[in-house]
Amino acid sequence: MSTLALAVENSERLSVRDCVSDRELSREDVYLILQLAERVKASPGSFARALEGRQLALIFEKPSLRTRVTFEVAMTSMGGHAIYLDHAKPRLGERESIKDIAKNLERWVDGIVARTFAQSAVDELAEHAAIPVINALTDTWHPCQALGDFMTLGEKFGRLKNMKVAFVGDGNNVCHSLMVTGAKLGVSLNVATPAGFEPKAEIVGEAKAIARKNGGKIHLHHDPAEAVGGAQAVYTDVWASMGQEYAAHLRTQVFAPFQVNEALMSRADSGAVFMHCLPAHRGLEVSEGVMDSPRSIVYEQAENRLYVEKALLMLLIENHGR
């Protein structure tokens, strides 16, 4: 079957009722999501009525292109409906409590997708809602992104275990998710950041422990060239995430040596690909030449977000209450 296949015996269900971070998903959960995502991509028509009559609430405190469109398309293309709730102003918990929002929504819809600043907002929604909650990005985690990324790498290379991936830039939410989910898949991840911008130490420790069990490794570096050496994939993200715009000018100076350009890519494996979760700031974290090169698989990553989100929605909503 799939190049990502792991024997998940007699299991069509996740071990969790929510997807609030990469932490809670077991190794088997990750493989199950990726396997179903592959099936959906190969035969989307087979799932055209999978969530017929189901309703999904999208709560967004942050702007979005890929996340909003893919979740709305995922629901409508499987027979469901998505309702967008703009919470840029006021943010969750300011007009009424997060608990009350959760208790109301659970009576009207079948699932909640939340894109927030604070991880605690998603955690609180999941704590109080009797329906599944999916993290569509917080300041700490971005699980849907990591799942789509590893699906893309699996397609490109035919394997994931023992792959070497380099993440260059800020030790942010995407970095956290790549480390923890990658560790469950046996991927080795080199993270290169300026001093003081490393990923959270607690998450690094957790990812290292998981990696040891699955044959992967997690290494932190301050030299991007060292981190990229021999990597099959080189990944970067914006230097100033949403909510950090006030520090963009300073970060541009600090992160300038960490730009992924042709010179840095030349240190990676000869067949290495370039990855970015998007949106990209061309000429900052990535050069125009790398972004638009044949090595770039950024749009494949964006496409595959749709399929992993379809898989997540089916596994969580369809199995809810069984």
Q: What is the pLDDT of residue 119?
A: 98
For residues 233 and 153, the answer to whether their CB atoms sit within 8 Å is: yes
For residues 251 and 274, the answer to whether their CB atoms sit within 8 Å is: no
Per-residue CA distances from 321 to 17, 69, 125 (Å): 9, 27, 18
Question: Do 157 and 97 share a structural domain?
Answer: no
Task: Give the number of residues written for the chain.
Answer: 322
Per-residue CA distances from 2 to 14, 32, 44 (Å): 19, 11, 16
Report how many helices (DSSP H) and strands (DSSP E) the chain contains, helices first.
12, 9
Instruction: Note whether residue 160 is domain-resident.
Output: yes
CATH code assigned at 39: 3.40.50.1370
Positions marked active-site:
115, 142, 145, 237, 277, 305
Which tokens is 293 given?
Answer: 């090169």
Residue 41 has φ and ψ, to the nearest 5°, of: -65, -40
For residues 208 and 142, the answer to whether their CB atoms sit within 8 Å is: no
DSSP annotation of 203 = H
Q: What is the pLDDT of residue 11?
A: 53
Give the Cα separation of 192 and 268 in Å (integer).
14
Question: Do 271 and 235 share a structural domain?
Answer: yes
Instruction: Note whether residue 4 is domain-resident.
Output: no
Q: Which residue type is seen at 183?
A: A
State the first-to-last Cα distance of the chain, in angstroms, to the nearest integer: 28
Question: Do 223 and 131 share a structural domain?
Answer: no
Q: Across the chain, where does the E strand assignment appear? A: 55-60, 81-86, 111-115, 133-135, 164-168, 188-192, 218-221, 233-236, 273-276
Find how far residue 279's CA is from the centre of its chain: 14
Question: Do 136 and 32 share a structural domain?
Answer: yes
Q: What is the pLDDT of residue 186?
A: 98
Give the Cα separation of 288 and 261 in Å (integer).
8
Instruction: Note whether residue 59 is domain-resident.
Output: yes
Question: Do 191 and 136 share a structural domain?
Answer: no
Total count of domains within the chain: 2
Q: What is the pLDDT of residue 240?
A: 85
Residue span of the structural domain in which 117 resides? 27-141+305-318
Question: Do 268 and 166 share a structural domain?
Answer: yes
Segments of the chain scoring below 50 in pLDDT:
1-10, 322
User: Half-sphere exposure (CA, 13 Å, Cβ side) for 63?
Assistant: 5
Give the Cα separation of 255 and 170 in Å (integer).
8
Angle between helices 143-157 and 27-42 (to 10 degrees): 70
Per-residue CA distances from 288 to 136, 272, 281, 316 (Å): 28, 17, 9, 39
Question: Do 92 and 189 share a structural domain?
Answer: no
Question: Do 161 and 128 share a structural domain?
Answer: no
- Across the strands, what pairs with 191? 167, 220
For residues 200 and 296, the answer to whether their CB atoms sit within 8 Å is: no
